[in-house]
């Protein structure tokens, strides 16, 4: 195995060894969301014609799980390595900053997609949304997981302790995820908050992903693709630059 493949394997093995916590727990959380919101709002909220609320909710929960767990994977790995002091052993290797990026972001994509697949499989008993455009589903799932994996890499490089990491996740990632249209269509919001939602890149990930199931969305999937693609390139460039200069890992 080459260097990046070895690091990639190590990162995948790291979360897979505790799969009940890293994969199973998020699936259970998504089930609880679906049971509570689906039970309360099914029959009372109609988002798209001929589409029940539970079916509408399912893709949003899947994508939310993908994004949050992709971010958690790369960020928690770096912070743990910093605190435990074993990051120095990785720095002794001749791996380039590109190899670090591919390994960390790649493993984050694997974890995010694994959790998303688990949520989809388990919640299939509650609702069975159609698969109108499977390619759109795969594209947005992969790009969303890669974007949050790269963002988690930036957060992990910046944070020096778990408190900082928790603050980044609780005050940035979680609010942006919950306010991205997971539980509602932005067309149900007042005009001002619709405009605010359009500034949230997470909204375009959720909306484009949902388009792959129903063939309808709040904005054009091509607009979502451009926004998500641009964000992915920008965040990846920042992460690569920070790795190249050794930000907060070389003193």
pTM, two decimal places: 0.91
Q: Residue 235, SS3?
A: helix
Q: Tens digits of per-residue pLDDT, 4-45?
A: 999 999 999 999 999 888 999 999 999 888 888 776 666 566
Mean pLDDT, the chain, rounded, equals: 89
pLDDT band for 87, please (50, 70, 90 cuts): confident
**CA separation, residue 139 to residues 64, 189, 213, 221, 229 (Å):** 15, 27, 13, 11, 10
Give CA–CA dist 64/174, Å, rounded: 9
| Structure-token pair, residue 109 | 């994509």
Q: How far is CA 218 from CA 5, 25, 47, 189, in A?
A: 39, 30, 10, 12
Residue 138 above 90 pLDDT? yes
Question: 229 or 218, which is more confident?
Answer: 229
pLDDT at residue 251 greater than cutoff 70: no
- In b/e form, how buried is each residue of 70-93, taking b as 16+ CB within 10 angstroms? bbbbbbbbbbebbeeeebeeeeee
């Amino acid at each position: 195995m080459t260097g990046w493949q070895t690091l990639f394997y190590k990162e995948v093995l790291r979360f897979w060894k505790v799969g009940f916590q890293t994969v199973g727990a998020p699936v259970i959380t998504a089930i609880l969301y679906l049971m509570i919101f689906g039970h309360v709002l099914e029959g009372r909220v109609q988002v798209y014609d001929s589409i029940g609320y539970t079916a509408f909710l399912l893709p949003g929960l899947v994508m939310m799980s993908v994004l949050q767990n992709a971010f958690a994977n790369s960020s928690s790995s770096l912070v743990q390595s910093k605190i435990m002091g074993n990051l120095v052993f990785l720095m002794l290797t001749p791996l380039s900053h590109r190899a670090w990026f591919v390994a960390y972001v790649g493993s984050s994509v694997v974890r995010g997609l694994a959790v998303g697949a688990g949520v989809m499989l388990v919640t299939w008993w509650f609702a069975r949304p159609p698969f109108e455009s499977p390619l759109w589903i795969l594209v947005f799932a992969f790009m969303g997981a890669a974007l949050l994996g790269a963002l988690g890499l930036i957060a992990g490089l910046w944070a020096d302790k778990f408190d900082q990491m928790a603050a980044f996740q609780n005050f940035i990632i979680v609010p942006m995820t919950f306010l991205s249209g997971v539980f509602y269509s932005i067309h149900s919001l007042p005009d001002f908050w619709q405009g605010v939602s359009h500034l949230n890149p997470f909204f375009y990930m959720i909306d484009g992903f949902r388009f792959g199931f129903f063939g309808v969305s709040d904005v054009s999937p091509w607009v979502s693709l451009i926004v998500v693609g641009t964000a992915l390139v920008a965040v990846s460039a920042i992460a690569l630059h920070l790795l190249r200069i050794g930000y907060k890992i070389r003193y």
